[in-house]
């Protein structure tokens, strides 16, 4: 308990100042509601927030899973074959440069207002950090280890399972952490652009009705959810790092 | 061009350049007129030129030369990891490529990289895992293997918990794990301190006496080469070629006391001179 308090005291202090500022400066609720009001609103609209959260969580999870699996498989293919790499490379460079958020309206046109376009946007945004880091991790095997494996005529499959894949774990896991948070961004952006469900939809609803309490409540729930995913992945990452060592892949983030 | 040398315990090697084909096949390792040329941006660079060498079975041969003279390149050619631009390589009567597929080589590098997620024992047994032990049961059990290199009781430590010397021991065990007929060592002790190196020298000589392995040992340390070897080949620089072939006839087992033998000193000085005097 004390350990947690030691970690979050700046946040508590920040909330206290926020609360104080709202009271002393008489800031109206529709501009910035005080923290206690946000908490009250979360309790009042609990069932509403819950049902919309479920939609967002589904989008985020599905987007993240697609990005993680797709990114790792793509990286394996690229490391495996130079031809595949040559074909994919230009597309990857271009898709790095395109602001993927700007594609959101397009996906709404193509796939409608359901959860599918949100999943696709989330996956697309989260995909590249996974891919880039996985490629670096799979490639960054020590040259002498490769010579050693070749000197005993190890097959490509053996080298992959015994050396490449474990070697890439410390590179892939930090990327998954980034990807998880990016898929939250992706889902929210998708919901902003066009939806009738989800936390992003609630935020827009709060915005147009000047119901700033609701906007902040939804924001608090999204933030809490992001924190949970992040800490879970970080715990996992630490365990992997302990066993497989630390990677030093470039942390590539594009939104 | 072979330099003839004749100090007290040394005889010039009598092998003529035109080795008969039969010898080529019977030797543990035989190189005939081997050239290695690398294509560089500034045109091709000849790294190794016209190398002829033969290792008999169970022989311990060192190649000494300055850094960058192509000795590591030569080792990779023998291991079948690099194709020579010209010349013939025969290992135990087959090509280097075949010998590699028959798992004829245990290799120890200078920076003995381990897989950090495997323990000392698992790292040492990695080649066995790759090769599979179903066909031929391994000559040494994993426990014997680590005992041989003096790491009994440290089996379950991870590489990061091992000192430099201990890592070299694991690397040696890893190279020996599948009982290869040939051990290729590329400056294996260059990165450890002098005391540890001395211990590792004794260990290596003990192991070679026990396993009867043919060893090709690459080093730039003349004292080390003379202490360990039956023969020392002196390699010149750019393009690398074998300048001299010197027999070392001190009786075995050899110990650190050999270092105070004046004949040993004289021989080392002679080899040093050969290395220093090249253009």
- CA gap A45, A57 in Å, rounded: 18
Cα angle B186, B192, B197; round to 5: 85
pLDDT tops 90 at residue B215 = yes
Q: Taking a C-beta distance cutoff of 8 angstroms, is the pair A219, A200 a contact?
A: no
A137: nearest Cα among A159, A164, A175: A164
- CA gap A241, A160 in Å, rounded: 19
Q: For residues B141 and A131, which has the higher predicted lDDT (pLDDT)?
A: A131
Predicted local distance difference test score (pLDDT) of residue A30:
87
Residue in A with minimal Cα distance to B157: A243
- CA gap B115, A148 in Å, rounded: 12
Predicted local distance difference test score (pLDDT) of residue B13:
45
- Stated length of chain A: 255
Find the helix packing angle between A199-208 and A46-80, rounded to 10°: 130
B126:A162 CB<8 A: yes
CA distance A117 to chain B (A): 40
Residue A239 touches chain B, beta carbons under 8 Å? no
Predicted local distance difference test score (pLDDT) of residue B3:
46
pLDDT tops 80 at residue A209 = yes
- Of the candidates A145, A151, A167, the beta carbon closest to that of B79 is on A151
- CA gap B27, B14 in Å, rounded: 15
- CA gap A39, A112 in Å, rounded: 34
Tens digits of residue pLDDT in A15-42: 999 999 988 988 888 889 999 999 999 9
Tens digits of residue pLDDT in A177-198: 999 999 999 999 999 988 889 9
Residue B115 touches chain A, beta carbons under 8 Å? yes
Predicted local distance difference test score (pLDDT) of residue B93:
82
Q: Which residues pair with B106 in a beta bridge?
A: B183
Q: Which residues pair with A27 in a beta bridge?
A: none
pLDDT tops 70 at residue B10 = no
Residue B136 touches chain A, beta carbons under 8 Å? no
The token duo for A49 is: 């927030």
H or E segment to which residue B194 belongs: helix B194-211
The token duo for A147 is: 């010579």
Tens digits of residue pLDDT in B49-91: 888 888 888 899 999 988 777 888 889 999 988 899 898 888 8
Residue B269 touches chain A, beta carbons under 8 Å? no
pLDDT tops 70 at residue B124 = yes
Q: Report chain B's C-alpha Rg in angstroms.
A: 19
Quick one: average pLDDT of B167-171? Answer: 92
Q: For residues A255 and B228, which has the higher predicted lDDT (pLDDT)?
A: B228
- CA gap A177, A221 in Å, rounded: 19
Predicted local distance difference test score (pLDDT) of residue B21:
57
- Confidence bin at A76 (pLDDT 50/70/90): very high
Q: Is the ipTM of this complex over 0.85?
A: no
């Amino acid at each position: 308990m004390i350990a947690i308090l030691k970690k979050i005291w700046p946040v508590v202090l920040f909330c206290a100042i926020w609360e104080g500022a709202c009271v002393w400066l008489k800031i109206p609720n529709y501009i910035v509601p005080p923290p206690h009001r946000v908490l009250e609103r979360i309790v009042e609209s609990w069932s509403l927030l819950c049902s919309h959260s479920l939609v967002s969580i589904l989008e985020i999870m599905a987007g993240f899973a697609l990005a993680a699996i797709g990114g790792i498989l793509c990286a394996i293919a690229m490391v495996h074959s130079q031809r595949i790499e040559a074909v994919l490379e230009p597309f990857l460079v271009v898709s790095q440069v395109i602001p993927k958020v700007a594609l959101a309206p397009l996906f709404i046109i193509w796939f409608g207002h359901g959860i599918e376009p949100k999943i696709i946007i989330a996956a697309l945004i989260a995909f590249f950090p996974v891919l880039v880091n996985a490629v670096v991790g799979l490639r960054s095997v020590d040259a002498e280890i490769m010579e050693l494996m070749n000197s005993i005529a190890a097959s490509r499959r053996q080298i992959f399972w015994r050396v490449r894949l474990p070697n890439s774990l410390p590179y892939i896991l930090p990327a998954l952490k980034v990807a998880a948070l990016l898929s939250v961004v992706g889902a929210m952006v998708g919901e902003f652009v066009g939806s009738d469900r989800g936390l992003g939809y609630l935020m827009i609803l709060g915005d147009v009705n000047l119901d700033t309490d609701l906007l902040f409540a939804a924001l608090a729930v999204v933030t809490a959810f992001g924190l949970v995913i992040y800490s879970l992945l970080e715990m996992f990452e630490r365990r992997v790092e302990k066993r497989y060592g630390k990677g030093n892949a470039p942390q590539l983030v594009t939104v | 061009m072979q330099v003839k040398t004749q100090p007290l315990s040394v005889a010039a090697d009598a092998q003529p350049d035109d080795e008969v084909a039969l010898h080529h096949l019977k030797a543990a390792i035989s190189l005939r007129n081997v050239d290695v040329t690398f294509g560089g941006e500034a045109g091709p660079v000849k790294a190794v030129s016209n190398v002829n060498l033969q290792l008999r079975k169970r022989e311990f041969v060192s190649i000494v030369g300055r850094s960058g003279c192509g000795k590591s390149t030569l080792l990779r050619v023998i291991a079948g990891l690099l194709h020579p631009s010209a010349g013939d390589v025969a290992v135990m009567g087959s090509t280097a490529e075949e010998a590699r597929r028959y798992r004829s080589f245990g290799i120890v590098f200078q920076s003995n990289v381990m897989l950090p997620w495997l323990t000392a024992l698992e790292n040492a047994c990695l080649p066995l895992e790759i090769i599979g032990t179903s066909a031929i049961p391994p000559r040494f059990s994993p426990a014997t293997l680590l005992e041989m290199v003096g790491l009994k009781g440290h089996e379950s430590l991870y590489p990061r918990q091992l000192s430099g010397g201990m890592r070299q021991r694991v690397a040696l065990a890893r190279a020996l794990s599948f009982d290869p007929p040939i051990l290729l060592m590329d400056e294996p002790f260059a990165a450890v301190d002098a005391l540890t190196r001395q211990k590792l020298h004794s260990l290596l000589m003990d192991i070679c006496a026990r396993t009867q392995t043919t060893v090709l040992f690459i080093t730039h340390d003349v004292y080390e080469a003379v202490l360990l070897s039956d023969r020392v080949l002196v390699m010149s620089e750019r393009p690398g070629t074998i300048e001299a072939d010197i027999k070392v006839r001190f009786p075995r087992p050899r110990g650190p006391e050999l270092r105070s033998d004046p004949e040993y000193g004289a021989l080392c000085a002679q080899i040093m001179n050969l290395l220093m005097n090249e253009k």
